[in-house]
Structure 1
Amino acid sequence: MSRTSLFQRFVENRHGGTGPFLALALIPLMGFTGAAIDYARANATKVAIQAALDSTGLMLSKSANTLTPAELTASANSLFMAQFNRPEAHNVTLTHEFTAPQQGSFALKLTGTATVPTRFASLIGTSELTVSATSEILWGIKRLNLALALDNTGSMSSSGKMAALKTAAHNLLDTLQAAAKKPDDVKVSIIPFATDVNVGTIYKDEPWIDWEQWENVNGVCSNSSYKTKTSCQSAGRVWTTASRDTWNGCVWDRDQNFDVQNTAANGGQATRFRANQATNCPASILPLTNDWGALHAKVDAMIPTGNTNVTIGMAWAWQTLSPVVPMNAPSPEPDLDKVIVLLTDGENTQNRFTTSRTSIDARTAKVCENAKADNVKVYTVRVISGNATLLRNCATKPDWFYDVQNAAQLNAVFSAIAQNLANLRIAK
């Protein structure tokens, strides 16, 4: 047999001989496949480092500017190791950098590093993986006036929304109370809204309430066939107006365009707030206060009722932050932030003028625009349903709009807002 024939047969042979090659190929194949597991373990360790860093930074922010460098190092290490629990991590180190970029402003940068021994990647020459993460906490000492405009309409009774809102609001108040260094550093107002806003019957004698329309429909005619003051008197009958003590505290939209402005309510009838004996009157508002007990009690008092008028909720939130009649809030100052958190779970359905959603949306958009032009910062929260575009545009920044698809997410959303409001944020 010629050499050419032997070679030809060797090349064409398909029997045996592949096993050894496969065995040799399995080693790197197993190494690369197992490396994916090692990298997943390393990534889990990195995530754990990041979470521990964020938590440590937030806790240290309360006292970092009062600690000596040695105290800060000891406290940082103690807090970090208490949060970080990954037995597979070796050579864990923590470094920090504390600075004061400007007067009353602070920054704490934390970096954590660790190595994770490999189980499979060592087959391809990698015996360990190094992971690291960084967290930077920024905070300051600005004072805060916050208005919570909270949808209290009937739809909030579904899907656990009201219960979740109350839990989230309580936690937000706790966070802000803890952030206040002095009693007046943080003040909060709460504005439950439906079609109307309930300002409270304590204001029944105030000149900024317009009673004309209320008195036209609340009373008794000497001829019971007539139901309004106008029709009664036009028929020559006697109208006996109801006592203002029977008013339930609700007001509705001011005359346009005062309905979307924070103009003082003492400039004539059009600027006043119209009393309205709303059938579905929400819980009364609570003006700016640092009485945390009263704030928590107001949250507990909220009950879902009525239709949706986001405009009036936003307008009254702005009023509670404005240094004019009726709320007479503190005047703007460089170290004072004025903020509104607006939450709703539905489309606009009714205001004093119309039931046209498009028309009411236009008023909502306008009051948002005007408030932001007045240097009020606006966060918006949509719970399951509502006009997402309207609310996104109402927020000061796109990422200050939160689209919540499940009521259970509200607590996390309010927690994030609370940390930001406390002038404390994580910059990664």
Structure 2
Amino acid sequence: MIFAFSIVPLLALVGSSIDMGRAYLIEARLQQACDAGVLGARKELGAISNFNVDTDGDTVAGKGNRFFNANFGDGIYNSIDRDFQLEIGEGNSINGIASVVLPTDIMQFFGKDQIDISVTCKAELTVPNTDIVMALDVTGSMAESNPDDTTARISVLKSVVKDFFTTMEATRQPESRIRYGFVPYSTNVNVGSVLKDEWVVPQWDYPSRTLIGAKNAGGMFSYYSSVTPVSGTYFTTKSTFAATVGGGGGLTCNKPANTMTVNTALQSTTTEAVTDPAGTRTISTYLRTRNGNTYSVSLSGSTCTLSTTTYASYVDTYRYITEPSVGTGTSWQYRDVSRNTADWRTASNGCIEERSTYEIDDFDNVDLSRAFDLDIDLVPTAGDPDTQWRPMYPSMIYERARRWDGTGNFVTETVVTNEEFLAPGVAGFAACPAAARKLKVWNQSDYEAYIDSLVAAGSTYHDIGMIWAARLLSPTGLFAAENADMSPKRRTTRHLIFLTDGQTSSLDISYSSYGVEPIAQRRWSPASALTLTETIEKRFSFACEQAKKKNIKVWFIAFGTELNPVMTNCAGTGYYFKAGNAAELDQAFKQIAKSIGDLRLSL
């Protein structure tokens, strides 16, 4: 009798466990379906411009119901009376209520016929702020065109980057903020405008020269440089004819008279300061137009070969340079010259030499306490020149002991001579691109004016472009106060778009962000195990990984060149593009814009 009475509460307890277990399972599944429904509805709402609840409400509700039904079918787990209701809430959020009735199996014998289950859900558009920095290759090869294009790559780049802005702004949510920054790069980067005064060394040594003795009064010297064809056409043909017997019995070749005419016109004259002795260097730029024919002959046995070079409106640009000459009893002392850099904002060109580093032989174990250049977050310490940047003064740089004709070996010691050594600032090997720009909100006219200011010049040094793009984007570095998330609900997505038209191309005669490399020997020397190009690529890869550690998404575009593992490994699968012409470059930027602009929904 006692056992019979005790079995009733025992059955109630077991029955409630079974039925409640089913109820908890259904509630969890119902919550998932509710979440899916409001997310689907909110995404549909986000795709409709000028939303009108009367005309578009059924479309939004229909999408939400499809997602709900796919995740919680009618009659699942023997539930009945399935219901899902949607409404548009504050801030265009989507609110949902889902409910079902679960008939009980055992608890019905104890007066509980069903369990009512209801859940709520909400989806709102979390509009993230977006920061985009573009590291744009503006090297000399960008002035060339791809085989499938009729315009120069730099012109194509400008057009596509302008269209990218238009696309991003057209799809931008009203509450969102999109900022753009730029790092045009070639041999160097022009970042002087983003540096604080205390981030720059007060004094630095540059490979220059001083004059020993007194110069001749009024003495000058001159030479030509940078003779480059900029327009017009010319071609050379060859023909052969029999040699003639000269008066002494030897064979000779008769050559027609040259018919070429040359017209030279002065275009502009500029001056720049030179040091030790103090003075000025005059740089006069001329256009030289050549027209007509020139002839040369060569004798081989009894046959003459006549080469005819025909010019037609062929224009050379070149520079005539004058400066104080070395007089009798004087000589140049080529050495490192210390310079006070207090005038760097007005006297330097805006480009910088990187801070201290070392020649790295193991890039898996980089010592950032020595490689300050690769620490993208390190804020310089006033009074510590190792952590500070150094302004560039191309006009005072001379490359001992490399002559203008390309002969001579680099040396680190002082050289005293009457010879003229290569000045990279004069010879065109110290390219300084357009000034970089920090992240900011742009209007279209200012944005397009900046893009139009880009000019192609210099060699391809990918590492310096990546280093400074990462610095401008990092939320925890030099610009942390400007780049940090506004709040947990207003996070910032960060994107680095890196575009190049070529492989790494370094020159030991260039005045780069690491000085004249064979003389400075900061990151590389002629005795290094790696070539200068390999060193640049290793540093590029390291800087790219540093950027990604800051949750920066890196996109890589190879425009008119091949993708190599250095590029693809940096970006990662799905984030690199190869564009062989203008249409493909435009498509790559459109794909990036689409990916950046995807809706982000949160519960």
TM-score (norm 1): 0.62
Match of 2:189 in 1: 197
The structural deviation recorded for 1:348 is 1.6
Match of 1:255 in 2: 356
Match of 1:86 in 2: none
CA deviations over 1:141-178 (Å, ceiling 9, x no partner): 21101111111111111112111111111111112223
Q: CA, structure 1 residues 60+153, in 2 after alignment: closer, same or farther (shift >3 Å)? A: farther
Match of 2:53 in 1: 68
The 8 Å contact of residues 189 and 435 in structure 2, kept in 1 or not, is answered as yes
Match of 2:171 in 1: 179
Q: CA, structure 1 residues 72+388, in 2 after alignment: closer, same or farther (shift >3 Å)? A: farther
The structural deviation recorded for 1:325 is 2.8
Match of 1:145 in 2: 131
Looking at structure 1, the residues matched to 556 and 574 of structure 2 have their Cα atoms a distance apart, in angstroms, of 10
The 8 Å contact of residues 250 and 276 in structure 1, kept in 2 or not, is answered as yes
Q: 1:287 aligns with which of 414, 426, 438?
A: 438
The 8 Å contact of residues 203 and 340 in structure 2, kept in 1 or not, is answered as no
Q: 1:157 aligns with which of 143, 154, 167?
A: 143
1:376 correspondence with 2:552: yes
Q: Matched residue pairs, number?
A: 312
Looking at structure 1, the residues matched to 143 and 126 of structure 2 have their Cα atoms a distance apart, in angstroms, of 38
Looking at structure 2, the residues matched to 227 and 219 of structure 1 have their Cα atoms a distance apart, in angstroms, of 14
Q: CA, structure 1 residues 219+270, in 2 after alignment: closer, same or farther (shift >3 Å)? A: farther
Equivalences for residues 241-280 of structure 1 within 5 A: 243-244=343-344, 245-256=346-357, 257-267=371-381, 268-277=384-393, 279-280=430-431
Match of 1:221 in 2: 276
The structural deviation recorded for 1:326 is 5.8
Match of 1:324 in 2: 477
Equivalences for residues 12-411 of structure 1 within 5 A: 61-63=46-48, 66-68=51-53, 70-71=55-56, 141-159=127-145, 160-182=152-174, 185-201=177-193, 203=195, 206-210=197-201, 212-213=203-204, 217=208, 220-222=275-277, 225-226=331-332, 230=336, 243-244=343-344, 245-256=346-357, 257-267=371-381, 268-277=384-393, 279-292=430-443, 293-322=445-474, 323-325=476-478, 328-332=481-485, 334=488, 335-350=491-506, 352=514, 353-354=523-524, 356-385=532-561, 388-395=564-571, 397-411=572-586
The 8 Å contact of residues 190 and 298 in structure 1, kept in 2 or not, is answered as no
Is the strand fraction higher in 1 or 2? 2
Structure 2 portions without partners, runs of 5+: 1-42, 72-89, 95-124, 146-151, 209-272, 279-325, 358-370, 395-429, 507-511, 515-522, 525-530
Looking at structure 1, the residues matched to 378 and 93 of structure 2 have their Cα atoms a distance apart, in angstroms, of 38
The structural deviation recorded for 1:59 is 11
The structural deviation recorded for 1:368 is 0.6
CA deviations over 1:49-87 (Å, ceiling 9, x no partner): xxxxxxxxx997454694427325689xxxxxxxxxxxx
The structural deviation recorded for 1:394 is 0.7
Structure 1 portions without partners, runs of 5+: 1-57, 76-94, 108-138, 234-238
Q: Rg bigger for which structure?
A: 2
Cα RMSD, aligned residues only: 3.9
Q: CA, structure 1 residues 241+400, in 2 after alignment: closer, same or farther (shift >3 Å)? A: closer
The 8 Å contact of residues 354 and 373 in structure 2, kept in 1 or not, is answered as yes
The 8 Å contact of residues 355 and 390 in structure 2, kept in 1 or not, is answered as yes
- Work out the percentage of aligned pairs sharing the same amino acid: 24
Q: CA, structure 1 residues 104+158, in 2 after alignment: closer, same or farther (shift >3 Å)? A: farther
Looking at structure 1, the residues matched to 161 and 545 of structure 2 have their Cα atoms a distance apart, in angstroms, of 25
Looking at structure 1, the residues matched to 160 and 57 of structure 2 have their Cα atoms a distance apart, in angstroms, of 32
The 8 Å contact of residues 196 and 253 in structure 1, kept in 2 or not, is answered as no
Equivalences for residues 2-13 of structure 1 within 5 A: none
Looking at structure 1, the residues matched to 347 and 175 of structure 2 have their Cα atoms a distance apart, in angstroms, of 36
Q: CA, structure 1 residues 357+297, in 2 after alignment: closer, same or farther (shift >3 Å)? A: same
